[in-house]
Structure 1
Amino acid sequence: MLKKVFIVAFIFIGFGFTNGELEEKFYKAIRGTYEVENFDLKEIEAPAAVNEKLPAKTGDKHLFQIFSEGNSIGYAYLGKAPSKKKEFDYVVMFDNNLIIKKSKVLIYRENYGQQIGTQRWLKQFIGMSPSSEVNYGENVAAISGATISASSMARAVNKVLKTMKILQEEKVI
């Protein structure tokens, strides 16, 4: 067990996360979504010319390919989006075909609007692909009392999907 803890700690340090709570929640989300205990991450950073075109940027610990036992099992985009007065951290996880497996709000910092963190609401994104268009209030339900955060999460997922489409077209992923 000590060896496993050391390896995980090394991975955290290696990727330079500065928020321990975010690290823990990010890795827990990966383990739960892909049903793996051990995994490796490879950060994906698009070339500068491609990154300029992207609605959701790569580099700086945002986009990762996930491996288990040497095989790719998917991708994860870790981002921030604005809520009413602060920002929240979220992750969008994809299978190898770039279909959303799960989205999750990792850290929410407001007193109101936490409803966007429920799986009941977030499951609307499951199955979307880079060719999908997210439209808050149309194909993604609005939430009374969380309008700003919910629309922000919908826009964020839409940007991530458009980013994945460009990265696919540019053969970065």
Structure 2
Amino acid sequence: MKRIVFGTVVLLCMSFMNDKISPRLQQKLHNAVATSYEIEEFELTPLEATLVEDHLFTISSAEGQLGFAYLGRAASMKEMFDYVVLLTPELEIKKAKVLIYRENHGRQIGSQRWLKQFIGKGSRDSLEYGGEIDAISGATISAKSMTKAVKEVLNKMEALHTKGAI
């Protein structure tokens, strides 16, 4: 296991994960966790779970486990964008954030005004784009993709919890 240090945070990663997560994305992930959990010192420890194609981390501090970070990619109109879903230990969304968006069209999905709709949601909640989750004019593809991705994260986390993997 390799330790990657960013200021006061230690990101624990296996060497193969280090190759897949760029330094820029690692820094954005660090910032999202630090601001969302209002903590300076924490560890992100990767979980190896067979149901997860992306990156799943436990977030912990000296006080114990703070939750989970799910780092994934979703489709926009022509490119993929990177996002993180931060979850409580009870598997409810603490925050969803678009970390790197690679197109000019559809950037509205990165606004916290739209993303805050996901806060507090769990696997039993209906996340229907255009229903419970507001549609965004000019960002339909990205917003649908983000909504679907968040729902899939919740379902994967619930499946891992049911299997006793987390």
TM-score by shorter chain over 0.5: yes
Please point out which of 23, 37, 47 is paired with 2:26: 23
Runs of at least 5 residues in structure 1 that lack an aligned partner in the other structure: 52-56
1:172 matched residue in structure 2? 165
Does the aligned pair in 2 maintain the 1:131–1:165 contact within 8 Å? no
**Matches of 1:162 and 1:70, distance apart in 2:** 28
Q: Which has more strand, going by share of residues?
A: 2
Give the corresponding residue for 2:97. Answer: 104
Partner of 1:86: 79
Which stretches in structure 2 are left out of the alignment for 5+ residues?
none
Aligned partners of 2:91 and 2:157 also within 8 Å: yes
Residues 9 and 171 of structure 1: CA distance in aligned 2, closer, same or farther (over 3 Å): closer
Local SS of the residue matching 2:115: helix
Once the two structures are TM-superposed, the CA of residue 43 in structure 1 deviates from its matched residue by: 1.0
Partner of 1:126: 119
Counterparts of 1:54-65 in structure 2, within 5 Å, are: 57-58=52-53, 62-65=55-58
The C-alpha deviation readout for 1:66-113, integer Å capped at 9, x for no partner, is: 001151001010000000000000000011111100000000000110
SS in 2 for 1:81: strand
User: Given residue 33 of structure 1, which amino acid in structure 2 is its aligned partner?
Assistant: S
TM-score after normalising by structure 2:
0.88
SS of 1:29 mapped into structure 2: helix
Is it true that 1:159 corresponds to 2:152 in the alignment? yes
- Once residues 140 and 167 of structure 1 are traced to their aligned partners in structure 2, the CA distance between those partners, rounded to angstroms, is 25
Q: Spell out, residue by residue over 1:119-170, the C-alpha distance to the aligned partner (whole angstroms, 9 max, x if none).
A: 0000000010122221100000000000000000000001001101101111
The structure with the greater share of residues assigned to helix is 1
Alignment pair present for 1:147 and 2:140? yes
Aligned length: 160
Q: Which runs of 4+ in 1 moved over 4 A?
A: 4-15
Structure 1 residue 66 corresponds to structure 2 residue 34? no
For the 8 Å contact 2:75–2:81, the answer to whether it is kept is yes
RMSD: 2.0
Q: Taking every aligned residue pair, what percent have the same amino acid on both sides?
A: 47
